[in-house]
Chain A
Amino acid sequence: MTPNVSVLDGSLYFTISLIFVALSFMGYLVFLFIGNKAISKISFGFLITSFIIQTFAFIIRWIYAYKIGIDTPPLVDLYDSLVFFAYVIIFGFILLRIFYDFDALGFIITFVALLALVFASFSPMAVSAIEPTIPALQSYWLLYHIIALFLSYGAFAASFGLGILYLIKSGKESKPALTQPAQNGGGQQIKIKKQSKFLSLLPPPKIIEEAIYKVIVFGVVFLTAGIAIGAAWADSAWGGYWSWDPKETWSLITWLTYMLFIHARLTKGWGGKKMAWIAVIGFAVVIFCYLGVDLIIPGLHSYATPGSNPIL
C-alpha cells in the first residue's frame, strides 16, 4: 500500500498541528477566566508540540518537493504561505514567552495562528498539493524575501496582540482614580481596588508598551530588509526594482504606517493608547497587504490559486 499524498507532502502533519493549536487556544481562553497557571503551562505545551510537528512537516514537505523535481522551497502558493505564517507567529510567541511573562497574549496569538491554519486547510482557495514553480519564482532571492517578510508579519501579529492587551488593560484601569503622577518615569504601579483575574495576569501597561515598541521595530527592520530584497530580486528578474505593483505599493504603505509609529514614539514621545491603536491598525494594514491585495487586486504577487494563469 502506498502512503497517501498528504503524508508524503507533509500536509497531514500541518492538519494534526492545527488540532494542537486549537487545544492550546482553548486552554489559553480558559486560562483567561480561571487564571490557573497550570492551564497556561499545558496550553504552552500544546503550542510547543504543534511547533515541533510543523517543523517536521516543513522538512518533509521540502524534501518531497525536491524529490518531485522542484528546486525552490515550497513557500510560494497560498497554502504554504499561510502555514508558514502560522509557524512564524507561533515561533515569535514562544520567544516572547521566554523573555517576558506574557501568558495572557496566548489566546490572541493562538487565535491568529489557528485562523491561518484553518484557512489553509479548509479554504478551497488554498490547495496543499505542491505545484511546480513558475520561472519568475525560480530564484535564490525567493527564500530570503519570504523569510524576512514573514518574520516581520509575525512580529506585527504579536504587536497587534500586545496592542489589544494594552487597550483592554488601560481601558479597565483608567476608571479607578488612584493614578499616581508617575513623574519619575516608572516603577510605580497603578493600584487598582478591584481587578478581574484576567487583568491581574497581564503585565503592567508600561511593560506592554515597551514590548509593543520592541516587537514593532523588530518587524520594521525585517520589513525593510524584505522590501529591499524584493526590489533586488525584481531588478534581476523584471528589469526594475520598483514598478508600483499593488503588493509593492501596499508594502510601502505598511512601511509608512510603522515609520509614523516610530517617529511619533521616538521624537514626540507618543505612548500608551495611541501607540496601541497604531499597532492594531498597522496589523490590519499588514493583513491587507498580505492577503487582501491578492484576493482583491491581481498583480505580480498573486498567489497561485487553482485555475489561475501562471504569470511569466
Chain B
Amino acid sequence: MKMFSKLNNFFSSVKLAIFLFIAIAAIAMIGTFINQGNTINQYKKIFGPAAYHILYRLGFLNIYDSWYFIGLAALLIVNLVFASANIFPQTLKAVFGPFPSFKETLDKKTPKGVFETLESKKTAEEIKKNLNLKFGKPFVKKQGDNGGSTELYYSKNSVFRFSPFIAHLSVIIIIVGVLLNFKYGFRSYTNIKVGEKTNVSYLLKNQKPVKLPFVIRLDKYQTKYYPDRIPKAYISTISIIKNHVTVLTKNMEVNHPVTYDGITIYQASYGHYKPTKVIVRILSLNLKNPAYRKYINAAIGKSYPAGVGGISFSFIPYKHPKKGRLPFYLNIIKNDKKNAVKKVRFHILPDKNLKEPMIFAKYKHMVFLYTGIAQVKTYYYSGMEISKNKYVSLVWIGCIILIVSMFFAFFFNQAQTWVRLTEAEGGKKTIIEIISVPKKKFESFYKRFNKNIADIKKELGG
C-alpha cells in the first residue's frame, strides 16, 4: 500500500511532467536539425562515415521512432493518466464537498489565503444578508455547533474546477486517437501513370506494399497555371474500381482529397517520364534510291547521319510538351551548310486497324517513322498519398475539448470563502471572521477581496 502510494506520487507528479516536457522538447529539437529519413548514402555524404555511425547508434537519424522518444511519450501518457486519476477526486471534493470547516481552514494557513476580522453591532442574520450580496449564495451552513457561532461557506466559479481535469482527459483522448490510427491506419504512397490502374500502395515509413481493397485508375492528369506559368492547380481525375465495376469517378486536387471506404487519396505530386531513346526507321521516297531503309536507335539530343541526302538529324525535346503531340521534334542539319537547321514536327496518324498510331515526320524525300512507342511517349503520372485515418475524428474531438477546457481553466479563478459569525458581549456585538482562498494567486483577487471588505465595513457601519 505504501509502495503503491509512492508510485502514485511519482507517476502523477508535476515534477515528472516538467521533466518530460523538457526532455521531449530537447529530443524533438535534435530531430529538426538533423534531417530525418534520408538514405544511408546521403547521411554518409553529409556527416562522413564515422559520424554517421555514431548518429545511427544514437538513433538520431530516425529520432521520432527511437525507443527513447517513444518511451518518453509513453511515460507522459502514464503521467497524464495518473495525474487525471488524482485530480478527479480532488476536484469533486472542491466542488461538492464535504468542505473543511472554518477552523480547519484557519489552521491550515494556506499562503494564498487572506484573513480579515470585522466587528458589527448588527445581528448575525442581518450580516448574512450583507455578505450574501457580496459573495453570492452560501453553499453550506453550519449552525451553532461550537459555541453560538454560525459558519458560512461561499464558493465562486467552483464548477470551473473541472476544466483542468477535462483538459487532461482531452489530451488522453487525442493520444488514444493517435495510437489507434497508428495501429489500424497507414500512410502510403503510389505513382500511377495516366490511363493505368493499381491496387498497390507503398508505406511511407518502410516502402512495404499495401494491398488496397479497391483499384485506382488515373483517367487524366492536368496542371493549371496562372498567366505567368506559376502552377494554380494540379488535377487528377481518378476512378475507383471495385470488383471490376467503376464505383466512383472524381477530380482530385491538392486540398481536395477523395475518400472511399475509409481510405483517403490525396494529390501529392506529379511528373512525367521523359523519353530517353527513340527507335526510328528512315524510309527514302526518292525514286532513285527507293529501297533505302535504315533503323537507328537514337538517343535524345544526339545527332546522327541519315545516310542519305547528306543530312544529319537529332531529336530535341520541347521545353513545354503539348498534349497530343510528341514531346520532341526532329532537327535536320545539312552537312554542307553548318547553320542550316530545320525543325520538323511529327505527325500522329491514328489508325483504327493498327494497334499503335502511326507517327512520322517528313523531310524532302525522307520519312522518319517511329516504332517502339513505349520509349517514345511522355507519360504523365500522378503521385498519390493514400492513407487510412479511421480514428482521426477522436483527435479532433480531443482538440476541441482541450481548447474549450483550457479557456475555462485559465481564465476563471475559483474563490472559496469561509465566514464565521460569533456573538460577543452578550449579543450586542457580532465578530465576523473571513478567510478567502483563491485557486490561482492573482493580484486582482486580493484587490477585489480588499474592496469587498471595505464595502462590507461601510455597509455594516464600522
Interface positions of A (Cβ within 8 A of B): 69, 131-132, 134-136, 138-139, 183-187, 204, 206-207, 209-210, 213-214, 217-218, 220-221, 224-225, 228, 231-232, 235-242, 244, 246, 249-250, 252-253, 256-257, 259-260, 262-264, 266-269, 271, 293, 297, 310, 312
Residues of B within 8 A of A225 (CB): 403
Q: Does B246 contact A (CB under 8 A)?
A: no
Residues of A within 8 A of B266 (CB): 237-239
- Pick the residue among A138, A183, A239, A256 that contacts B387 (CB under 8 A): A239
Interface stretch of the complex, out of B124-132, B272-280, B311-319, B439-447: B439-447
Q: In the bound complex, do residue A221 and residue B410 qualify as a contact, i.e. CB atoms below 8 Å apart? A: yes
Could you list 29 A-B pairs, sorted by A, with CB under 8 Å? Answer: A132-B226, A183-B111, A184-B446, A185-B112, A185-B113, A185-B446, A206-B443, A210-B442, A220-B410, A221-B406, A221-B410, A224-B402, A225-B403, A228-B402, A231-B395, A238-B266, A239-B187, A239-B268, A239-B387, A240-B389, A241-B395, A252-B25, A252-B28, A260-B21, A260-B22, A263-B14, A271-B441, A293-B32, A312-B268
Q: In the bound complex, do residue B254 and residue A224 qualify as a contact, i.e. CB atoms below 8 Å apart? A: no
Q: Does B386 contact A (CB under 8 A)?
A: yes
Residues of B within 8 A of A235 (CB): 389, 392
11 further A-B pairs in the complex, CB-CB below 8 A; given A231-B399, A264-B18:
A132-B230, A135-B254, A135-B255, A139-B255, A221-B410, A225-B403, A232-B396, A235-B392, A271-B441, A312-B231, A312-B268
Cα-based distance from A132 to B225 in the complex (angstroms):
10
Cα-based distance from A125 to B389 in the complex (angstroms):
38
Q: In the bound complex, do residue A132 and residue B402 qualify as a contact, i.e. CB atoms below 8 Å apart? A: no
Q: Does B450 contact A (CB under 8 A)?
A: yes
A-B interface, 3 closest residue pairs, ranked by CB to CB distance from nearest: A217-B410, A239-B385, A228-B399
Cβ-closest chain B residue relative to A247 = B32
B183 to A: closest C-beta gap in Å: 15
* 354-401 of chain B: CB within 8 A of chain A: 385-387, 389, 392, 395-396, 399-400
Q: Does B139 contact A (CB under 8 A)?
A: no
Q: In the bound complex, do residue B230 and residue A237 qualify as a contact, i.e. CB atoms below 8 Å apart? A: no
Q: Does B308 contact A (CB under 8 A)?
A: no
Q: In the bound complex, do residue B231 and residue A134 qualify as a contact, i.e. CB atoms below 8 Å apart? A: yes
Encode contact with A along B55-81: 1 for CB under 8 Å, 0 otherwise. Answer: 000000000100000000000000000
- Pick the residue among B25, B226, B264, B403 that contacts A253 (CB under 8 A): B25
Cβ-closest chain A residue relative to B189 = A239
- Pick the residue among A139, A214, A250, A257 that contacts B32 (CB under 8 A): A250
Residues of A within 8 A of B31 (CB): 244, 249
Cβ-closest chain B residue relative to A222 = B403
Q: In the bound complex, do residue A246 and residue B446 qualify as a contact, i.e. CB atoms below 8 Å apart? A: no
Residues of A within 8 A of B114 (CB): 184-185
Residues of A within 8 A of B28 (CB): 249, 252-253
A169 to B: closest C-beta gap in Å: 14
Cβ-closest chain B residue relative to A209 = B443
Residues of A within 8 A of B115 (CB): 184
Cβ-closest chain A residue relative to B64 = A244
Cα-based distance from A250 to B33 in the complex (angstroms):
11
Cβ-closest chain A residue relative to B384 = A239
Chain B interface category by residue count: 35 or more
Cβ-closest chain A residue relative to B13 = A267
Cα-based distance from A133 to B320 in the complex (angstroms):
22
Cα-based distance from A235 to B389 in the complex (angstroms):
9
A184-B115, A268-B14 given; A241·B403 CB < 8 A: no
Q: Does B36 contact A (CB under 8 A)?
A: yes
Cα-based distance from A4 to B439 in the complex (angstroms):
58
Residues of A within 8 A of B450 (CB): 187
Q: In the bound complex, do residue A263 and residue B257 qualify as a contact, i.e. CB atoms below 8 Å apart? A: no
Q: In the bound complex, do residue A186 and residue B447 qualify as a contact, i.e. CB atoms below 8 Å apart? A: yes
Encode contact with A along B425-460: 1 for CB under 8 Å, 0 otherwise. Answer: 000000000000000111111110010000000000
Residues of B within 8 A of A242 (CB): 178
Q: Does B270 contact A (CB under 8 A)?
A: yes
B21 to A: closest C-beta gap in Å: 4
- Pick the residue among A131, A237, A246, A267 that contacts B14 (CB under 8 A): A267
Q: In the bound complex, do residue B387 and residue A240 qualify as a contact, i.e. CB atoms below 8 Å apart? A: yes
Cα-based distance from A252 to B73 in the complex (angstroms):
13
A97 to B: closest C-beta gap in Å: 17
Residues of B within 8 A of A238 (CB): 266, 268, 385
Cα-based distance from A131 to B164 in the complex (angstroms):
44
B424 to A: closest C-beta gap in Å: 24
A159 to B: closest C-beta gap in Å: 13
Encode contact with A along B230-264: 1 for CB under 8 Å, 0 otherwise. Answer: 11111000000000000000000111010000001
Cα-based distance from A266 to B194 in the complex (angstroms):
59
Q: In the bound complex, do residue B443 and residue A186 qualify as a contact, i.e. CB atoms below 8 Å apart? A: yes
A135-B233, A310-B230 given; A228·B21 CB < 8 A: no
Residues of A within 8 A of B96 (CB): none
Cα-based distance from A256 to B28 in the complex (angstroms):
11
Cβ-closest chain B residue relative to A240 = B187
Q: In the bound complex, do residue B255 and residue A236 qualify as a contact, i.e. CB atoms below 8 Å apart? A: yes
B272 to A: closest C-beta gap in Å: 14
Residues of B within 8 A of A207 (CB): 443
Interface centre among B28, B406, B442, B443 (most CB of A within 10 A): B443
Residues of B within 8 A of A257 (CB): 21, 25
Cβ-closest chain B residue relative to A69 = B226
Cα-based distance from A267 to B440 in the complex (angstroms):
9
Residues of B within 8 A of A132 (CB): 226, 228, 230, 232
Q: In the bound complex, do residue B389 and residue A312 qualify as a contact, i.e. CB atoms below 8 Å apart? A: no
Residues of A within 8 A of B36 (CB): 244
A15 to B: closest C-beta gap in Å: 25
Cα-based distance from A259 to B14 in the complex (angstroms):
11
Cα-based distance from A257 to B32 in the complex (angstroms):
16
- Pick the residue among B226, B395, B407 that contacts A221 (CB under 8 A): B407
Q: In the bound complex, do residue B14 and residue A136 qualify as a contact, i.e. CB atoms below 8 Å apart? A: no
Q: Does B17 contact A (CB under 8 A)?
A: yes
- Pick the residue among B386, B395, B446 that contacts A239 (CB under 8 A): B386
- Pick the residue among B21, B400, B407 that contacts A259 (CB under 8 A): B21
Q: Does B24 contact A (CB under 8 A)?
A: yes
Cα-based distance from A218 to B409 in the complex (angstroms):
11
Residues of B within 8 A of A246 (CB): 32
- Pick the residue among B187, B267, B386, B411 that contacts A217 (CB under 8 A): B411
Residues of B within 8 A of A297 (CB): 32-33
A221-B403, A224-B402 given; A131·B230 CB < 8 A: yes
A244 to B: closest C-beta gap in Å: 5
